[in-house]
Amino acid sequence: MTPENPLLRPSSLPFEAPDFEAVREEHFLPAFEVAMREQLAEVAAIGGNLEPPTFENTLAALERSGQTLARVQRTFAALTSAHATDGLQEIEATVAPRLAAHGDDIFLDDTLFRRVDELWLARDDLDLSGEEARLLDHLRAVFVRAGARLAPEAQARVRAINSELSSLATRFRQDLLQLARERAVLVDRAEALDGLDGPAIRAAAAEARARGHDDGWLLRLVATTRQPPLAHLTDRGLRERLWKASAHRGLGENGGIDTRPLVRRIAELRAEFATLLGYPNWAAWALERQMAVHPDAARSMLEGLVPPVLANVATEAADIEARMRAEGVPGPLEPWDWEFFAERVRKDRHSLEDREIRPYLEFERVLADGVFFTMERLFGITFRRRHDLPVYHPDVRSYDVVEANGELCGLFYLDPFARDTKRGGAWMSTYVAQSRLLGQKPVIVNVLNLQKPADGEVALLTFDEVTTLFHEMGHAVHGLLSDVSFPSLAGTAVARDFVEFPSTFQEDWAFHPDVLANYARHCETGDAIPGELLERILAARRFNQGYETLEYLAAALLDLGWHTLGPADIPADPEAFEAEVLARHGVALPAIPPRYRSTFFPHVFGGGYSARYYAYMWSEVLAADAFAFLQARNGLDPEDGRRLRESVLSRGNSGETMQMYVDFRGAEPTADALLARRGLVPAAAT
C-alpha cells in the first residue's frame, strides 16, 4: 500500500496542509515505518559524509531530514489529541516507544555527534549568521542533553528509559481521556440543575443523549480540578458530587482507573535519566535551557508570590464565609462552595453575575469582532474563512491568513468545541512549520473545549473562555508570523518559560475597552453592551484573584516538588507526598486545591511541561510588563504590533529570548505589572 499512502507524499493542498479526507487509520503504521527508515538513511548519509563537516553538509542537512516523518507525526498528533479513536490509541501505544528509539538512534549516533561537535568547537571561526550560530548551539545541546557524550552502557540505559517513558506518558494521556468519560456526572433530577441557565441545561441533556442515556443530564469534566458549573449550581450536594468526581480522578475509586502507579514510575524514570546525565534531578536537566536556568530560580519566583496571595485569599475567604452564614449555610468553607459563593459576593459587590454577562459573549462574535479584530489592528492580518479544505471533524473550520498587502502568510484551523474524543484543555499545534530553508509557510491549529450548544442555539462564553480564545490566538500568531530559515527554530519552538509570553500578552486585549466594546453585543438583539455594565465588568476584573493565583501556584510548586526528587526519593504514596509539598510551601488550603493534582496533571505527566509548569507565571511577568508598557503609550496601535512582530513573533528561537524582549520593550521586565494584573497590590499602587 506504500505507493497509495497519502502520508508518504506532500499534500497537494495549500501550504501542504494535511489531507484529512484521504488519510485513514491503516495508513499510519506503515507510514511511520517508512518515514523513520527514510530519515535514518538521510542522517546516516550525513554522518558518513567523508567531507569535513560544514554548516551546509551537516546542520542544514539535518534540518532538511525527516520531512516525511514530521508530516506523519503532526497529522497523527492532530488526531490523537483532538479526535482519538480506539484504533488510533492502539497505534499510538505501538508507535510511541518506536519513535523514542528513533530519536535515540539519531541523537546518540556518535559519528553524527562528532561532526556537530567539531563545528561547535570551531564556531568562532565559521563566520555564521546569528540564526546559523543559534541553530548550531541548539542542535549541539540537543545531542549532549540526549546523552551523546555518555558511555555505551549508560546510553543503553537511556534508550530503555526513553522507551518506557514514552509508553507511560502515552498511557497517562489515554487514561485521562478515559477518566473524563468515566467520571462525568449524570444528573437525573431537573431541580438539581437549578442555577444553570437554559443553554447549559440543554447542552447537558444533549450530552447525555450522545452518551447513550435515554434521559437525564450529563455534566462533562474539564481538565482542571474546578468545574464551571460549580459557580452556579444551587444544589450543594450536586456541587460536592461534581467536585469530588473531578478532584478524585485517577485514584481508582470504585474500581476505576488508578494513575498513581504511572505517576510514580514516570517520576522515578525521569530522576534516573537526569542522574545518568550528571544532573541532581529532572528539574535541573529540564530548566538548563530555559530562561529560569535553575529550579531554585523558578521556585523562588513562585514562593515570593505566596505571602501576598495568601493575604488576598484570607480576605476573599472571609467575605465568602460571611455570605455563607448570611444564607444559613453551615461551615466550614468547602472547595465546592468557593466559586458558588464567590459569585454571590461578586454580585453583591459589583452588581454583576455571570448570567448577566454571558449573553454579550457569543462565540462567533467574540471570535470575529474580538480576536480577529485585535489581530488585524495589531498585525494587519485578516482571517478569511474557507469551506473547501478537508477537516477531521465537522466542528473544525479553516481560514486563510492574509497580510495587508494581500499575500497569504499561512493557514489557520480552529477546533472549538468539546467532545469525548478530545483531550481536555486548550492548545495550539503546528501542522506545517514555517521555514525559508524548506520553502514552507505555516499551517496552525487552535483546539479548545468550549461547551457545544444544543442544536439551533448559539455558544455563550464566560470571560475565562474568552481569554482562552485570545491566549491560544497568541500562540497561533507566534507560529503564523514566524519568519526564520530553520524549522527547528520556527514559531513557538522556544523555551517553555518564554513561549507563554506572546499568548498571555494577548489575553489582556479581551478587556481592553476598544476591543470589548467591539465584540460584546447581545446575542439576540445585537445591542452593544451597556456602558455601565462594561464599567462593572472592568471594575470586577481582579475579583477572586487570590483564589485564581493560589490554585495555580499550588500546582506549579507540586510539579517542582515531584521533579526535584532524586531516584531514591520517589514516594510510595503520591497523595501523601502531594499533601506534604503543599504544606511545606504554605499553600495547603483545603478550600483551594491545586489546579491540577498529581493523578490528572496532563502538562506534567503526559505533556511537555514537566518541571516547567511555573512557566505560565514566569511568562506572565513579561506579558504584564509588555501590556502595561503599551497602555502607557497608544494602546491598540499597529506600530506597536509591528515592533512585537519584528522583535519577537517573527524570530522564533533565532535569538536569545530576553534580548528579543528588550528589543521590543526597551528594558527588562519588572514584576510590578504582574502584581497589579493579579490584584496583589493595593489599588492605589496600580
Helix (H, G, I), strand (E, B) or coil at 385: strand
H or E element in which residue 429 lies: strand 427-432
In our burial notation (b when 16+ CB lie closer than 10 A, e otherwise), range 169-186 reads: bbbbbbbbbebbeebbbe
Question: Which distant-in-sequence residues (6+ apart) come within 8 Å of 284 by Cβ?
Answer: 274, 294, 295, 564
Residue with cell 459573549: 361
Going from the C-alpha of 37 to that of each of 10, 42, 44, 95, 113, the distances in angstroms are 17, 9, 10, 14, 19
Output the nine-digit C-alpha cell for 480. Answer: 503564523
Tell me which DSSP letter residue 440 carries: B
CA 62 – CA 39 distance, rounded (Å): 9
The set of cell numbers assigned to 545 is 484573584
- Helix H segments across 481-593? 496-507, 513-519, 531-539, 545-563, 574-584
Query: Which one-letter DSSP state was computed for residue 425?
Result: S
Residue 667 contacts residue 660 (beta carbons within 8 Å): no
Strand order, beta sheet including 443-450: 382-386, 397-402, 408-417, 443-450, 427-432
- Cell matching residue 467: 481569554
- How does 518-538 read in b/e, with b if 16+ C-beta sit within 10 Å? bbbbebeeeeebeeebbebbe
Q: For residue 140, what are the CA distances in angstroms to 48, 144, 277? A: 18, 6, 15
Other beta carbons within 10 angstroms of residue 605's beta carbon come to: 28
Residue corresponding to grid cell 514537566: 610
Q: Is the peptide bond between 332 and the residue preceding it cis, with omega within 30 degrees of 0?
A: yes
Which grid coordinates belong to 603? 502538562
Question: Considering only CA atoms, which of 385, 382, 384 is closest in space to residue 405?
Answer: 382
Residue 415: strand, helix, or coil: strand
Angle at the Cα of 569 from the Cα atoms of 567 and 570, rounded to 5 degrees: 80
> Which stretches of 277-294 are DSSP H helices?
282-287
Element of type H or E holding 79: helix 67-82
CA 666 from centroid of its chain's CA atoms? 28
User: Would you say 564 and 281 are in contact if contact means Cβ atoms under 8 Å apart?
Assistant: yes
**Active site positions, annotated:** 472
- Is residue 12 within 8 A of residue 72, CB to CB? The reply is no
Nearest one of 16, 53, 144 to 438, comparing CA atoms: 16
DSSP H helix total and E strand total for the chain: 27, 7
Which amino acid is present at 585? Answer: H
Whole-angstrom Cα distance, residue 314 to residue 304? 17
Q: Tell me if 582 sits within 8 A of 588, measured CB to CB.
A: yes
